[in-house]
Amino acid sequence: MRDSLRLVIVLTLVAALSGGILAYTWDKITPIIDANNAAALADSILEVMPGAVSYEIWTAEAASSVDADATASGTADADTTASGTADAGAAATGTVDADATASGTVDADAATSGTVDADTTASGTVDTAAAATGAADADATASGTADADATASGSVDGTSGSSLVATIHEIYRGLDANGKTAAVAFVVDANGYGGTIRMIVGVEPAARKLTQIKVLEHAETPGLGARITEPAFLRQFENKSIDDAFAAKQDVDAIAGATVSTIAVASTIKSALTEVETELRAGGAW
Amino acid sequence: MQTSINREFLKGLWDEHPILRLLIGMCPTLAVTTAAVNGLGMGLSVIFVLVCSSVIISLIRNFIPNQVRIPCFIMIIATFTTIIDMVLAAYFPALHEVLGLFIPLIVVNCIILGRAEAFACKNPPARAFIDALGMGLGVTWGLTFIGAIREIMGMGTVFGLQIVPETATSWIIFLLPPGAFFTLGIVVGAMNHINHVMERRRQQTVRSAAAGQAVQG
């Protein structure tokens, strides 16, 4: 009994000490790490937009009225790249997906303990995660019955099977000395080989070309996929026309042994560019 | 005493080289040695964690009951690994960017637990320090050497410097996982061969010395 008590005490002591030391270090060091990261991001933003002297965060809400509200114990995804109004207010316990990239009307009504609306009026193509037929479905799986109808009077693209989904985080507008838009930069996540690759991409909208790209975070294999951070790889995107194909081994040199990482970077940039262009055009900032 | 301290230090560099003689810590060895600089960085991180944890474990070795020694060692090692990870991220972001991926791997590096178990928990702090330093340096040169070979074969560079003409075909396979096994096998084989040759020479000298004595006698 005394022996086992001693074991418990020693283990508890060691664990408490380790925990205490770690908590103290964490407490002291996180602000420094956060400050470092923020400074690094700010540097990167200006770095990929050589023409800009300052930048501001470009918000969709400010330019057009694109809303995505989730007022429930459910999740509401509303990927809208439309020049219109898109509301996805989910007042129900359920999951609501409404991907609308435009032309037509997409309605998603959930007749449960709440209403779900996803209205989009614009011109372009409609991208739905659900069905590639004429009708787009937005499913609301709720604690009850939920109906979601979507009518799209346009061309519907059912290309959602692709694993390469660009997740665009922030869009920054780079301003030159006169306060005019010199360039645009955006932070985007790609699905790499070892995890998420977070990049910042600079674009010159007027010239329709990239300025620079930079990898912010990644978890690719050292020596192989990790070479996406090397200048030799990144330089080929400088001044690249955004209308290029961005296809690995064609207009983008693939890193030997790291084709997955190369494709992830190239195709994510391509699809993100399309989305960003649509969104900025809608907001009149392109 | 002096010679035994020297021995504690030197054994990690050759005779009991953790990677190339004891063949422990194979996971990080195979995974991170795609370039010389990666091997060096991993080795330096290992030195830090190994030295700190060995000294601490040696200091508290008499308080730790035998039955719970391994959980205690792991907690100490994990604490140091996390601290070095955070400190590097805060004060040396550039270095952390290069090493960041490998540092968490140190916790599961059995070289460190192995030294804690085999040496630090049985020896006073000073000896544990010397042992850890020797072993850590052994790991460092081992990883750097393997990394350099793979980098030369796979990319034609070493520490990023082009040494093979760029026109020469580089063998990508050396950067891929199989290349790690090839390289490790060849290096371990070469080391065994060197030891074998040295042992034979030593025996010959002993024998000829004995023969000389016999003639004189």
Nearest by Cα to B38 from B140, B110, B111, B133: B140
Considering just the CA atoms, what is the radius of gyration of chain B in Å?
Answer: 20
Chain B partners of A6 at a C-beta cutoff of 8 Å? 65
A145 within some domain: yes
- Please report, for chain B, the start and end positions of each structural domain, with discontinuous segments joined by +: 2-216
A 92-111 near B (Cβ less than 8 A): none
pLDDT of A19 higher than 70: yes
The pLDDT of residue B217: 58
A162 within some domain: no
A30 within some domain: yes
Q: Residue A226: which domain range?
A: 167-283
**Total structural domains in chain A?**
3
Give this complex's ipTM.
0.74
pLDDT of A148 higher than 90: no
Check residues B116 and A114 and name the one with the higher pLDDT: B116
Q: Are residues A123 and A43 in the same domain?
A: no
Last residue of a domain, one of A133, A157, A181: A157
A24 within some domain: yes
- Region A5-14 average pLDDT: 91
Chain A partners of B67 at a C-beta cutoff of 8 Å? 7
Under an 8 A CB cutoff, do A222 and B68 touch? no
Under an 8 A CB cutoff, do A18 and B34 touch? no
pLDDT of A130 higher than 80: no
**Which chain B residue's Cα is nearest to A6?**
B65
Please give the mean pLDDT across all residues of chain A.
68
Chain A partners of B91 at a C-beta cutoff of 8 Å? 32
Chain B partners of A29 at a C-beta cutoff of 8 Å? 86-87, 89-90
Check residues A25 and B104 and name the one with the higher pLDDT: A25
Proportion of chain B above pLDDT 90, given as a percent: 39
pLDDT of B23 higher than 50: yes
Nearest by Cα to A84 from A134, A154, A135, A139: A154
Proportion of chain A above pLDDT 70, given as a percent: 62
| Closest Cβ opposite residue B67 in set A7, A219, A221 | A7
Last residue of a domain, one of A122, A157, A192: A157
Q: Are residues A172 and A267 in the same domain?
A: yes
Q: Is the dihedral of CA B68, B70, B74, B76 positive or negative?
A: positive
Q: Are residues A192 and A97 in the same domain?
A: no
Considering just the CA atoms, what is the radius of gyration of chain A in Å?
Answer: 23
Q: Are residues A101 and A142 in the same domain?
A: yes
Cα(B152)–Cα(B81) distance, integer angstroms: 30
| Closest Cβ opposite residue B72 in set A6, A14, A221 | A14
pLDDT category of residue A44 using cuts at 50, 70 and 90: confident
The string of pLDDT tens digits covering residues A188-237 is 999 888 889 999 999 888 888 888 899 988 888 777 888 898 888 999 99
Q: Is the dihedral of CA A231, A236, A239, A244 positive or negative?
A: negative
A 30-59 near B (Cβ less than 8 A): 32-33, 36, 40
- CB-CB contact of A121 with A95 (8 Å): no
Q: Are residues A267 and A235 in the same domain?
A: yes
| Closest Cβ opposite residue B75 in set A15, A32, A36 | A15
**Which chain B residue's Cα is nearest to A24?**
B83
Q: Are residues A221 and A243 in the same domain?
A: yes
State the first-to-last Cα distance of chain B, in angstroms, to the nearest integer.
Answer: 35
Q: Are residues A181 and A278 in the same domain?
A: yes
Number of cross-chain residue pairs from A and B with Cβ atoms under 8 Å apart: 70
- Region A244-261 average pLDDT: 86
Q: Are residues A143 and A178 in the same domain?
A: no
Ranked by mean pLDDT, which of A104-113, B4-13, B198-207 comes out on top? B198-207
Least Cα separation, residue B98 to chain A (angstroms): 9
Query: Could you give the residue ranges of the DSSP H alpha helices within B60-118?
Result: 69-91, 93-99, 110-118
A53 within some domain: no
Chain A partners of B64 at a C-beta cutoff of 8 Å? 10, 14
